[in-house]
Structure 1
Amino acid sequence: MAAAIHLILFADYFDLRGIALGMPIDNTYLWHGYRYREFSETSWWRTWAPLMESIGLDLLLPIAGISEASAVHIVQQAGLGNIVSSCLRAKHPGCGRCWKCFHKNGMLGHPYDIEAREIQAFLGKRPVRTATHALWWVGEQNHWDQVPDLHHLKERDFSWWVKHHPPAFDLLPDWIRPSIQSAIEDATEPIPEDSEFYTWNLFPDTE
């Protein structure tokens, strides 16, 4: 919430109804990006949503039910893929050597060096940082040789990663839900009720 302090302070001046955060499913319904949880029951949501409401603002999480992958696909569909960059270290198209260039900018077709020190460091960490998204991308690019101890995860069904979690719409207030829900439903399919997502845990031996 620190990133929204200035908006909260100026909410009356700008007549804001809510504060939106770009938290994808990687951080909402997945704990540390690798294990499913019911986000609406977490202490974070139960603390911040009522607190924001108490000062007259709705806490908006428009992409809570979609992954970073789906968010990037939506950006591409909007024709913005050639101008955006997640890299914080270099101008567009990025440095090609950081973690963001690997798992975000790489999706946009920007080059990256899989052997770069930071990328190798994060691929070697267990649990893998932003695990589900990173390993989905590993699979998409056939980089399994970079994580030989995780070859067994090749058999997991990652197809839900580019779909949306319908219950996330319930987190949105009525005044803005229809437009967000319609846009996401137009761009992605719903995660099936029998999907592995609901029991997802890539690193069950990790406390």
Structure 2
Amino acid sequence: MAKGCLIVCDGNNGAGKSSVIRAIEEFLTARNHPVVITREPGGTRIGEKIREVVLDPETPELCDTTELLLFAAARAQHLKEKIIPAIAAGKVVVCDRFTPATVAFQHYGRGIALDLVRSINGFALEGFAPDLNIILDVDPEIGMKRVASRGQGLDRMERQKLEFLSRARDGFLRQAEEAPDTFVVIDASEPFDVVSGNVLAVVANLLTEKGIG
């Protein structure tokens, strides 16, 4: 059985990750690729419980170190229970957020030392790495206007100040600059048909490179 792969969709809130992931799922399904859609933090029963704590707006006392460790704990469970088995079964896993978000939010946003963030991430990953990180880039102010337009309450991370979100955006872009072989930045301020078209072209190229399908 052919080995699968992991595609990550990441970027600031309001960049359109959910819509893009649906487009990727439809694209893969139409080509008979077995696909698993998941998210971080979450993706497993334990991970979803951790998500409730990390994103709960009623937990403002959650310190930066605890936040980092909780994200890593959810990721370790996610990998072992869901992502690695799916890839081994030949499935394409598409994940809403992954390690780029931890580096962007916890290092660039929170200011936790990069070596520490990478060390904790590395402990959770045990040598695993995504095949492709798609960064949907949008100005945080535009992104948060999109989030607000949904008419839903903001979670704990969405309630951060624009200055924090701007630092996180810089973090996403910096990671992409440093690892162009596995990162692709997509301008998420474009109309959705343009954004999704650009994303699907990148996904199709990855599948070709991996010999999937």
TM-score, length of structure 1 as denominator length = 0.34
More helix as a share of residues: 2
TM-score, length of structure 2 as denominator length = 0.33
User: Which is greater in Rg?
Assistant: 1
More strand as a share of residues: 2
Higher relative contact order (CA 8 A, sep 6+): 2
